[in-house]
Amino acid sequence: MGKLPVPFLLFVFSTLFTLIIPSAGGLSFNFTGFFAGDQNISYEGEASPSGGAIQLTKNMTVSSGRATYHRPMQLWDKASGNLTDFTTHFSFSINSEGRTPYADGLAFFLGPEELPPIRFLGEGLGLVRNGQPLNTTDNQFVAVEFDIFQNLFDPPREHAGIDINSMKSVNNITWECDIRGGKTTDAWISYNSSTHNLSVSFTGYINNTMEMQFLSHIVSLRDILPERVSFGFSASTGTAYAIHTLRSWDFSSSLEIVGNVTNDGNATNPLDPAAASPPNNGTRRNRKKNRTGLAVGLGVGGGAIVVGTAMVGFVFMFMCRHEEDEGDHVLEEYMDDEFERGTGPKKFSYQELARATKNFKDEEKLGEGGFGGVYKGFLKEIDSFVAVKRVSRGSKQGIKEYAAEVKIISRLRHRNLVQLIGWCHERKELLLVYEFMPHSSLDSHLFNETSLLPWEERYKIAQGSASGLLYLHEEWEKCVVHRDIKSSNIMLDSEFNAKLGDFGLARLVDHGKGSQTTVLAGTIGYMAPECGLTGKASRESDIYSFGVVALEIACGRRPINPRASNEDEVSLVHWVWELYGEGKLIEAVDPRLCGEFNKKQVERLMIVGLSCAHPDEHLRPSIRQSLHVLNFDAPLPILPSKMPVPSYFAPPLSSLSIMSYGSADSKGGMNESSS
């Protein structure tokens, strides 16, 4: 941002200190521990900090407790219609200390700021009104539950589920846990505001070995919950009990907060240290008195607030305009210097791209790519159709990912990579122009009942995808770790040639060096098992993703099928490996092919897929070795008949940054940002 006169800045800050102005910004924090006196967590019921963690319930029957963040989250904004994206990671344990039976469970939840009071009768994980576990009228919440007690409406055994206004889950899965031993569970929850997909992944234990489990549900949170929501954790015990403990929590949301408010709904001065203090029980009891005082205060100070708000708003706009103008200028200088020296991508004007896409009409939208929508357009200048990627304005990482994608893909040239034609950065818009792929993405053919991809095309697509990945990993001047290889990111041209696309998550790594990426990225089902525990991506994790895609191509099945009747068939990799061990690999081939396939090619593709998706990253082949096998230039790898399950050791939680904008405090506390 350009420099502004010091007196002017002093005036701005003095105004901010004097007036009550709501702050704006997404919410991000990272707690690696919880301690008495920390003002950032509000406790209800019998929840309390203990030994650097939060004990949500006492070690006794009919105990309930909640721990919520001290201020609400802006879930959606009525004025703009925007809905937030959010992601959270937390670790917890439920420990019966060897006892059976045990109850009840723990939940991460979003709910109204005025939550039903905690009542010490156990039941409903502390979320629902007593005696109304299935009532969808009075209850208003969305939760991810880790339930250790089977009610009449529950599935058998311990389970994880997604609950909407009711304790009867809309989707659930058996949770492979160790309650008697009290093992720590890590869970990751994310919500995509574009697709309305609420995704959950978490660790489980089978035969004392850790494995990842997955769950998801499509839901418009705007239709369920108010604009601002309380969020946090709730737990309870019943006639049986266990200790429910929260050990760490990081969280990040994308939507700017419309007003900085406390839990009692009152606006606060963001620069007043007292504003960070959560309400205690006395505050809750005296809420009516406070509101009366607030009404009088607002009546007296309303005029000053309106004038001050307008004045500071003007200042803010002035400063932002300076920052945006300078940001545009710097980025354009960089682009001009980087790309226009040779025959690289061309700079387009916003007007050209708006005209090409009919002003980004919904009818021209091809779908949602990484960090933004993709539109079909026609550019007269090159007499060709193009795909225009419009980076989402609501994404905090949009500019960062845009820059990464432009910087990397503009320098890559390979027949199996989507070509970047041009770019635009005007009017606060970030736009990328790609060659148009007439046959869309691979997944649209594999999982579309109305179209059938013949085997010859499938095998060619697998070879082409491997060839593109070989160029990224070994043949370019640096190793490019793609980090999001999946069937929806493999595009098909007019002759069904495969082209890897969507480089918004890609990272450059020097050849010969190991993993350098420390932010977990990618898509559930395609992520290597070590990624969820180490938070790192590498060539080996790209290989794992390619292996999953190879199996998708052969089997015509998605990597995760939560509705599978047989638990062994939920994971595509597990299912195919079981058939491989039984000598029945051919039974996994897409039945829609009706036997019309080359048996030797099928065998090669599926065994290559399994070897690439080996649970141990050190035993995966390179992409060059895999391509040699697919091209019949090398023998088939020999795999164990049973899928190996190695033990991974999770690093300290403070070393992970799971799609979070906050960072761990070196003192074991928290780091918060509202930008």
**Bridge partner list, 233:** 67, 108
| Residue 2: count of CB within 10 angstroms of its CB | 10
Let me know how long the chain is: 675
Q: Say how far apart CA 441 and CA 649 lie, in whole Å.
A: 36
Q: What does DSSP assign to residue 4?
A: -
> Are 25 and 3 in contact, with CB atoms under 8 Å apart?
no
Assigned token pair, 501:
């696309």
Given 186, 484, 502, 542, which residue is catalytic? 484
Q: Which helix (H) or strand (E) holds 352?
A: helix 350-356
Assigned token pair, 414:
């390979």
484 is catalytic: yes
Strands 372-379 and 384-391: antiparallel
The residue whose two tokens read 């003002």 is: 39
Contacts 24+ apart (CB under 8 A), 306-313: 308/15, 308/18, 308/19, 308/21, 309/19, 309/21, 311/15, 312/12, 312/15, 312/16, 312/19, 312/21
Q: Say how far apart CA 357 and CA 574 lie, in whole Å.
A: 43
The residue whose two tokens read 């929501």 is: 229
Q: Say how far apart CA 642 and CA 635 lie, in whole Å.
A: 21
Strands 420-426 and 346-347: parallel
**Bridge partner list, 43:** 67
What value does the CA radius of gyration of the chain take, rounded to a whole number of Å? 27
Q: What are phi and psi of 590, to 5 degrees?
A: -50, 115
389 is in an annotated binding site: yes
Minimal CA–CA distance to 128: which of 153, 101, 92, 94? 153
> What letter represents residue 659's amino acid?
M
SS3 172: strand
SS3 300: helix
Assigned token pair, 181:
């031993």
539 alpha-carbon distance from chain centroid:
21
Q: Which residues are annotated as a binding site for ATP?
A: 389
Which residue numbers are catalytic?
A: 484
Q: Which residues are annotated as a binding site?
A: 389
